[in-house]
Structure 1
Amino acid sequence: MRILAYLGLGVLGVLAGVAGSLAQGGWTPLGLLLALGGSAGLFWGGALLTRTRVGAAAPAVGWAVAVLLLTVNRPQGDFVFAADTGSYLFLLGGMTLAVASAALAPSDRPLFLFAPDPTARRPEHGRIGHNRDKSPPDQRR
């Protein structure tokens, strides 16, 4: 189930990279804010969903692949990224957001889809293992 979530997050990362690349150049300066906000939401959402760093890295890898493929100029002279400040802010800002989301990913327990078996017994807090005193109650100190 977790691998499917990572693959789905990777596909969403590709879509966010393509959409963000088009939006940041099309609607200046709000497109840049929208593209970076959407990317940050996807990276952080993946980290929260899976409670792992890979949950933030999966959409980031998809985003990076899409964005880097779109930076290449075609032989006909077509391009998506112009050599301007907005394009560089989108590239560097997206990479920074991806690293920050992976570094700050919470590692508590995953959300309900990825939770371990709730019937499994967990050790009590403050004790190491299950070393309980099994002597009769009248012999305990």
Structure 2
Amino acid sequence: MSDRTSSLLTQPPRPPSGRRIAALLGLFVLGAVVALAGALVQAGWFPAGLLLALAGEAGLCLGASRALRSRSGGVAAAAGWTLAVVLLTTSRPEGDFLFAAGSGSYLFLLGGIAVAVICATLGPGRQPDGGPGRLGT
């Protein structure tokens, strides 16, 4: 490796800018909105609604990773989705709840978490600046 590449890899990451923090907060909120929409759709049109809800979440997480060119976008969207789903699963004292005790609800919860983890890890990692040259040559 050249000295420039090795120095770039050893530098600590810069703190995020204000625009990046705003984008991550927006993706967090968008993840919560997608979770709410998915919770309503997955039970209404089973099994097509379940697939539509999971595809919407996958598109959000993968698109967020690609838009911000880092895994942090996908993680922010996945965190918003997960928090919203966990809050939607709690029952209220009045006995109201959004998820029924059926296989579709469990597939939405567990499948959604799996989709969030997969899509958040598919985002591009931290790469040094420079051309697309091969390392070690």
TM-score range, shorter chain: 0.7 to 0.9
Structure 2 alignment gaps of length 5 or more: 1-18
Partner of 1:33, secondary structure, is helix
Kindly tell me: are residues 76 and 107 of structure 1, through their superposed partners in 2, closer, same or farther at Cα, counting changes over 3 Å?
same
Kindly tell me: are residues 88 and 5 of structure 1, through their superposed partners in 2, closer, same or farther at Cα, counting changes over 3 Å?
same
Contact 2:78/2:120 (CA < 8 Å) preserved in 1? no
CA RMSD of aligned residues (A): 2.3
Kindly tell me: are residues 126 and 44 of structure 1, through their superposed partners in 2, closer, same or farther at Cα, counting changes over 3 Å?
closer
Task: Say which is worse superposed, 39-48 or 75-84, in terms of deviation.
Answer: 75-84
More helix by share: 2
Contact 2:65/2:74 (CA < 8 Å) preserved in 1? yes
Residue correspondence of structure 1 range 30-41 to structure 2 within 5 A: 30-41=48-59
In the alignment of these two chains, the number of paired residues is: 117
Q: Which residue number in structure 2 is paired with residue 47 of structure 1?
A: 65
Amino acid at match of 1:90: F
Paired with 1:124 and 1:85, the residues of 2 have a C-alpha distance of 47
- Structure label with greater radius of gyration: 1
Q: Which residue number in structure 2 is paired with residue 24 of structure 1?
A: 42
Aligned with 2:89 (options 61, 65, 71): 71
Q: Which residue number in structure 2 is paired with residue 61 of structure 1?
A: 79
The percent of aligned pairs where both chains have the same amino acid is 52
**How far did 1:51 drift?**
1.6
**How far did 1:107 drift?**
3.4
Paired with 2:132 and 2:71, the residues of 1 have a C-alpha distance of 27
Kindly tell me: are residues 90 and 6 of structure 1, through their superposed partners in 2, closer, same or farther at Cα, counting changes over 3 Å?
same
State whether structure 2 residue 28 is matched by structure 1 residue 10: yes
Partner of 1:4, secondary structure, is helix
Kindly tell me: are residues 107 and 74 of structure 1, through their superposed partners in 2, closer, same or farther at Cα, counting changes over 3 Å?
same
Q: Which residue number in structure 2 is paired with residue 81 of structure 1?
A: 99
Structure 1 alignment gaps of length 5 or more: 110-120, 129-141
Flag as ranges the 4+ runs of structure 1 deviating above 4 A: 121-128
